[in-house]
Amino acid sequence: MKSKVILLVEDNPSDIELTMRAFAKAHIANEIVVAENGREALDYLFRVGKYAGRDISAGPMLVLLDIKMPVMDGLEVLKYIRTDELTRRVPVVILTSSREEEDLARSYDLGVNSYICKPVDFNQFAEAVKNLGLYWLVLNEPPPPVK
């Protein structure tokens, strides 16, 4: 069985490190691929650029997506994910510091599966990541692949 790959789309190096530490603390051992902007995330998902030839069966099983990023923001990435036959079923969780109602509404309008505001406290963040991993990687029944 293939590993359940998580695609973390985050431009802030501190938030990347914090998220990786939270996954380690929660004993979530899944492979985590980091895309540092929206364009790189789409390259990974659609196997272009440095990801050309990537094994499509490797996932990701889950996309953790920040909203506020350079090059291409998370909402634009979400729109591409949801409109493409290949990726439309991939679970996407917005993981952001934005509490703006407009971002929340637009995320759900574009088909996000969940919207989580990053807690400021590391222990609360680690607990949120643990629960997120438990739900999306263990309890949730993933969608069948698009044929």
What residue type is 98 in one-letter code? Answer: S
DSSP state of 56: G
- pLDDT truncated to tens, each residue of the chain (147 aa)? 356 899 999 999 999 999 999 999 888 888 999 999 999 999 999 999 999 988 877 789 999 999 999 889 999 999 999 999 989 999 999 999 889 999 999 999 999 999 999 888 888 988 888 888 888 888 888 887 766
Cα separation, 6 vs 116, whole angstroms: 16
What was the pLDDT predicted at 130? 87
Kind of pairing between the strands at 92-96 and 32-35: unpaired
Cβ-based neighbour number of residue 6 at 10 Å: 24
Structural domains in the chain, CATH included, are 6-139 (3.40.50.2300)
What was the pLDDT predicted at 27? 87
